Structure 1
Amino acid sequence: MRQREALARDDVAAPEHAGLSGVKLDLTRAEYLTLLIAMQLADWVLHAHQADEADETQPFRALEQKVFALAGDFGCEHLVEYVEEDGRFYASAEFDETGPAMEFIEEFENESFWNELLERLVERDLLRQLGEKTVEGLDPEEREIREEPYRRVYGDEFATHGVDRLEILDQRYVGDAKNKRKLS
């Protein structure tokens, strides 16, 4: 059974040796704030890329509701809002948009963007140079050696120029078919 499926099932108990059944947490206000930030990070990972919540993330949403419901007990009611229409708690706009989690998220997104762009271009160029069968046949060490020059070139380019010199060579127009305008 996949771990995600196990998380969604109520009949899967915590391991006995972990002593987690019915555990109560005694948190300080600072620890509760850290937990709120962790919940916000988890929510972003699970839901930021989807329009609708997946059923398999429901256990996380349920836990989030329990944690948010305690905000008043820790003097953090300004960080959580209760919406009567759907009977759910949400991170306040202040906490959601300017809280510490957003700094972590923005840093992660920025680093991920550059790393992912670099790795995809390296793979594309290596495949163009050697062909798919040859690349698949390379042992990891040899592949790393072959990829390194591309990594160095793209890494230097992005560090110096960002995306300023990236262009799509065969698409010089933007807009729909009726309202095309030249890019440059």
Structure 2
Amino acid sequence: MQGAAGWFFPAVHLRFTEDELATLIEMVTLAASVASWNHRPGADEGLGAYEALENKILEKAKHAGLGDVVEFDEEKQRHQVTMDFQAGSFFQECYDEFRNENFWEELVIRLADRDLAKSIGKEAWEKLTEEQRRERTSEIEKNYWKEFERNGIDRVAVIFPPGEG
């Protein structure tokens, strides 16, 4: 059997306790949820592999007696965890935290990069490596982090140029 990276594995049979199976369900669901954010060209194959494995594990779990955790979505034609299970799950907590942290980090980096590009000019900014940009924006990033920790996005405003918005 050929894996995603081209490795060959013999068929594997594993036995799980109910708790271990519940953890595995959360792990594959978390992995597939995070992978679904990858919209880069060529990501469909990897995402498809994650979703197929998630579906296979969820289907086996449902047939193993975890029907209160797993349901079949007729519209998507695949298995998924139930909303009740998802609501109290560790994987959902991890996923929400991942999205939250990613949002703030991206916001801070993009604002700091924008400020640097304004101060040195876009052409000079484009010539910098990512590492050079982070070195030059570290203080700006710290200031944005302080602002967002105190006020969240309450003081963020979009200022449209005249004639727009």
The alignment's TM-score, normalised by the length of structure 1, stands at 0.70
Distance across 2 between alignment mates of 1:154 and 1:169: 18
Task: Please report how far the alpha carbon of residue 168 of structure 1 lies from its aligned counterpart in structure 2 after TM superposition.
Answer: 1.2
Distance across 1 between alignment mates of 2:88 and 2:37: 16
**Of 2, 24, 38, which residue of structure 1 is paired with 2:13?**
24
CA RMSD in angstroms comes to 3.1
Distance across 1 between alignment mates of 2:125 and 2:119: 9
The alignment's TM-score, normalised by the length of structure 2, stands at 0.77
Distance across 1 between alignment mates of 2:146 and 2:156: 13
* CA deviation map 1:6-25 (0-9, x unaligned): 83xxxx8533xxxx311112
Specify whether residues 72 and 94 from structure 1 end up closer, same or farther in structure 2 by C-alpha distance, changes over 3 A only. Answer: same
Distance across 1 between alignment mates of 2:65 and 2:23: 14
Amino acid at match of 1:14: W
Q: List runs of 5+ in structure 2 lacking aligned partners.
A: none
Specify whether residues 135 and 93 from structure 1 end up closer, same or farther in structure 2 by C-alpha distance, changes over 3 A only. Answer: same
Specify whether residues 104 and 86 from structure 1 end up closer, same or farther in structure 2 by C-alpha distance, changes over 3 A only. Answer: closer
Specify whether residues 23 and 141 from structure 1 end up closer, same or farther in structure 2 by C-alpha distance, changes over 3 A only. Answer: closer
- What is the aligned-residue identity percentage? 32
| 2:114 equivalent in structure 1 | 124
Tell me if 1:89 matches 2:82: no
Q: List runs of 5+ in structure 1 lacking aligned partners.
A: 1-5, 176-184
**Of 108, 111, 115, which residue of structure 1 is paired with 2:101?**
111
Distance across 1 between alignment mates of 2:116 and 2:76: 52
